A and B are shown apart, each in its own frame.
Chain A
Amino acid sequence: MTLLDQVFDIVVCLLLLVLAWRTLSATHLYQSAIFFIAFGLTMALAWVRLAAPDVALAEAAIGAGLLGVLLVDSLRVFARPPETGRDSEPNKPESRDNDVTTSRRRPQFNSAVASVTAGAGCLFLAYVLVAAIHDLPDGGGLTAQAAENLSRSGVEHPVTAVLLNFRGFDTWLEVGVLFLAMLGIFCAGGLVGFSETENPDPPGPLLSWLIRGLAPVMILTAAYLLWLGKLAPGGAFQAGILLAAVGILLRLAGIPLMDRVPRTVIKLGLTFGFGTFLVFGIIALLADKAFLEYPSEWAGEVILLVEAAAAISIGFTAFAFFAYLNSRDQSTGNGDTAGQPRETNPSQ
């Protein structure tokens, strides 16, 4: 490692700390969200420096991209004060930003006991993290074993082999966690179709033109990432988030393609990944093998199938998060949309 590399790494570390601090200390929540996006991108850079491009891709797509969109969109929803909603005068755009999104008052602990407890908790967490780093096995743990069995896994990229074959169980549960999160959101608002978009403030002709051109390219890129996972960094999560991004952009551009998707297809799409994992796991059990143990001659094909299903589910789930927030935003109504009551209330 040359001196320049070291300087670069130190700069990235410092930048991460500064961005984390600014994210927490910004007086305006909108600023916090933007700092969080910057933090995610810097984090992706740090993962690249740690020679983990798979994680970097996922961090950039999920941590910076999807979470950023969700945060900014949530702020748009919650920035509107409920009492000045439908009945009162349309808010001026300037006044809208000043309410909930501003947190000038720092969170104050009302007693010394609370702050001491919180501080002790943080110290304990820091100790556990440092101890965990210290306890990492020297020889790289199971790296040698994974490398030895790579030829039997059906793929050439070690990360995909571990994620989808050796530790497929973990990935299955990860997809399950996403599914649960989505169920939670739907419990809060009822299982709805992707409600119709009627953008009160159409984004102008350019975005619509861009997304019409880009959507096919993005879907193709998602398929490419999925296929690439076999031999290089890429895979279901990155591809899935890209698919979700297509949906989000379509919605933002006011192209009502996703609204046409019938409810059955949505339900199927949301459960597809989890279900496909489960089906292959049960098939393996019926064939007297361990759960999710793939036959080695078919492993590559099975992994591709499972990954494709997971990517579709992840895409649907991530888009459902956004669509739910977005339809909430429109149904709550405010100065912009007060004139036109929305029939697509999520609780229906």
Chain B
Amino acid sequence: MSFVNAFTIIFCLAGAVFFLAGTVGLLRFPDIFSRLHALTKADNLGLGLIVIGLLFQVDSFSTGLKMLFIWSLALAAGSNACYAIGRYAFLRTPREKTREASE
């Protein structure tokens, strides 16, 4: 059992690291696109790793399935929100400025 717990701790800590990095990135990165990049890493990988970590503690199959389902929903919603914000920002920024930022 302690072996399984170790897996949980490792994965959850890894997830927490991604959340921390995502938050720092959101606060520190210079423009909206790199901030979105940081934010979606926290959402997708951070939540995913925590879900994987918690899967070791699940006692029934359906609970685990629900958790994976929640993760996939968060993936879909997160990437869409990122796309929507990014697209809005991209359309609002004058073209030359965007090209500068991407170079």
Contact = CB atoms under 8 A, between A and B. Distances in A.
Interface of A: 93-94, 203-204, 206-207, 210, 213-214, 217
Main secondary structure of the interface of A (DSSP, over half): helix
Contacts of B28: none
B76 A204 contact: no
A213 B83 contact: no
Interface of B: 73, 76-77, 80, 83-84, 87, 92
Contacts of B76: 210, 213-214
A221 B83 CA distance: 25
12 contacts: A93-B92, A94-B92, A203-B84, A206-B80, A206-B83, A207-B80, A207-B83, A210-B77, A210-B80, A213-B76, A214-B73, A214-B76
Given A213-B76, A214-B76, A204 B92 contact: no
Contacts of A93: 92
Contacts of B77: 210
Main secondary structure of the interface of B (DSSP, over half): helix
Contacts of A204: 83-84, 87
A230 B83 CA distance: 38
A213 B84 CA distance: 17
Nearest to B92: A93
A214 B79 CA distance: 14
A203 B80 CA distance: 11
A94 B76 CA distance: 30
A224 to B, nearest CB: 11
Contacts of A206: 80, 83-84
Given A94-B92, A217-B73, 13 more contacts: A93-B92, A203-B84, A204-B84, A204-B87, A206-B83, A207-B80, A207-B84, A210-B76, A210-B77, A210-B80, A213-B76, A214-B73, A214-B76
Nearest to A218: B73
A340 B9 CA distance: 58
Nearest to A94: B92
A79 to B, nearest CB: 15
